[in-house]
Chains A and B, each alone.
Chain A
Amino acid sequence: MKIELEKISEHVGDTGDFIKLNVDKCVGCGNCALVCVMNLWLMRGGKAQLKDDYTQKCLECAACYSVCDVGAIDFSYPAGGTGVVFLKG
């Protein structure tokens, strides 16, 4: 069964940046890419890279931040009243 995740999630407002990668700290382990349900992390040249449009797709679970053993990912939630909305959560 093919489920297109982007079609079944809703996002509102201008979130601002809420995930930041410290490239110097990143060791390229790929943990963030492995656990991101929405596939928002790519591995490029031995480093993680966050997709440009992540603010409109992220489900705000903070898995990437939680699996980053070297603390290279800074996660804070989007601005109040913006970001993912769960209508049937």
Chain B
Amino acid sequence: MIVVGAGPGGSVAAKVAAESGLKTVFFERGRKPGEKNSSGCGLGPRMWREFPEMMKKLTPEVAPSLRKAACVVNHYLNKDMEEIAIEMYYPTESVTYEPAKSFITMNCYRSEFDPWIAGIAVEAGAELRTSVLIKDLVKDDKGKVIGVQTEKGEKVYGKVIIGADGVISTVAIKSGLNPRWRPDQITLVPQYDFSADRKKIDQMYGPDGLLADAADGIWYGTNFPAAYQVIFGDGFHIGLGSWMGQWTANPISFLNKLVSCKPFQRMIKAIDAKPREVQTHLLPWTQEPVRTYTDNVMLIGDAGGFPCPLEAEGVFPAMETGKLAAETAIKCIADGDTSKQALKLYEEKWKKASVGIEFQAGESMQTLWRHLMFSTQSEENSMEWFIPLWHELRGGFYDWSEPHIVRLRQIIKKAQEYLPQAMTFFSKYMMPVLTDAMGDQISLMPQLMKLMEGMRPRPKKK
């Protein structure tokens, strides 16, 4: 089996295949895995549920940048880039398993994570070839893929070829599975890494810090697409993204606007942070994966368009599809049939898995997000009403400027100004997600209606 790409998906595929006894080679264009990759990079708890044996070995000894993000801090900026609200959320009571009850993400640089996970595949017996760029696929006289070709012209043959080569995937392009992305399927994500003082991060974001273990943050604003902040041992990532056709100015200008604003500057001063590295990558953020298999070929991870349609989590979907593709390859090679018909098994597997369930609501979820925090460069900028409305409803009442009943009237009056947009948004973009989640009879709704019937106004006191 050949795997093109030694990211988390490729490495899991190579590990699973090698463990079963398949002769497996995986290729990396960098000098080592991870040096060409940038991402958020928060690791989701599903990785620990699906790959428990592997993930318990990810410790600070092998990944010094590891930092737990037990909760997320939301920062809201108004149109003048002033911070008007901060919220902090730990996992809620409805979360069902550990370690998801204990953290939102575990954060670790790709330059540490990718070599670690590739090492596990090598231990399992897979051959890793680094500094090798796969430039083409080798096809037989019927046009079926039977191998890969390196930039130096070397041909390597395999029974199954797995495309784990990221968003611009040679395997996807040359096999015809995905010759080109549409602009609404991929986002462009500029990102800075900031170095910071480890002790000061601990004081602010560490376990005993001011914001206990709050190592993930989201910055919302009305004039930039929502930005994520992911905090590591001695630094953090700040990045933002939007779909290809949506940029009205250079993407980095939006990030620069954010890092230059007063609240952000205050934060970096507190932890003694300085820009350390600039990274930019494309990220598939699509309503459904592309065609993911053909004769002798399967696509996994970003190459297949698997990042989550709502929040674009990419590492777990890559690992899960890597595992499923390798299991499919093992069975089909053993059966002596790796044709398109046989490899359909891969699609059946991922549709039933966690990643496939995510895409059952792919269209509604991606559409919802697009029209909320990523609509800031469009006519219907939803953040212009969402942020002040949220601010008013969540924070307006705790105010001593007037008798509280007067404040309540003021808040309701102000909120009413935003209601037409909010209600339109709710019915257009929220309802489809709720319908996808709950089916035709949104079963929560009748209960709510019943509750509301009981809420008759009290007669007013004389």
Contacts of B276 in A (CB 8 A): 8, 88
| Chain A CB within 8 A of B76 CB | no
Residues from 144 to 203 in B contacting A, C-beta threshold 8 Å: 150-151, 167-168, 181, 183, 186, 188, 190, 192-193
Which of B245-253, B322-330, B394-402 sits within the interface? B245-253
* Main SS class of interface, A: loop
Contact present for A67 and B38 (CB under 8 Å): no
- Interface-central residue, B30, B65, B111, B192, by most chain A CB under 10 Å: B30
Given contacts A1-B256, A1-B259, A81-B31, contact A37 B277 (CB under 8 A): no
Give A59 to B259 CA distance when docked, in angstroms. 20
* Pick from A3, A39, A63, A86: contact of B259, CB under 8 Å: A3
Interface size classification for chain B: 35 or more
Contacts of A37 in B (CB 8 A): 190, 250-252, 278, 280
Give A77 to B65 CA distance when docked, in angstroms. 28
Contacts of B151 in A (CB 8 A): 79-80
* Pick from A61, A77, A87, A88: contact of B280, CB under 8 Å: A61
Nearest chain B CB to A78's CB is how many angstroms away?
8
Contact with A along B99-143 (1 / 0, CB 8 A): 000000000011100000000000000000011110100000000
Contact present for B277 and A88 (CB under 8 Å): yes
Contacts of A84 in B (CB 8 A): 36
The residue of chain B having its C-beta at the shortest distance from the C-beta of A88 within the complex is B193
Contact present for B249 and A34 (CB under 8 Å): yes
| Chain A CB within 8 A of B260 CB | yes
Give A36 to B193 CA distance when docked, in angstroms. 18
Contact present for A35 and B244 (CB under 8 Å): yes
* Pick from B168, B188, B192: contact of A3, CB under 8 Å: B192
Contacts of B349 in A (CB 8 A): none
Contact present for B275 and A66 (CB under 8 Å): no
Nearest chain A CB to B55's CB is how many angstroms away?
20
Residues from 27 to 53 in A contacting B, C-beta threshold 8 Å: 34-39
| Chain B CB within 8 A of A72 CB | no
Contacts of B235 in A (CB 8 A): 88
Contacts of A5 in B (CB 8 A): 252, 278
Contact present for B181 and A86 (CB under 8 Å): no
What are 15 A-B interface contacts by the 8 Å CB criterion? A1-B259, A3-B256, A5-B252, A8-B275, A9-B279, A35-B250, A63-B282, A67-B244, A81-B130, A85-B30, A85-B36, A86-B36, A88-B109, A89-B35, A89-B110
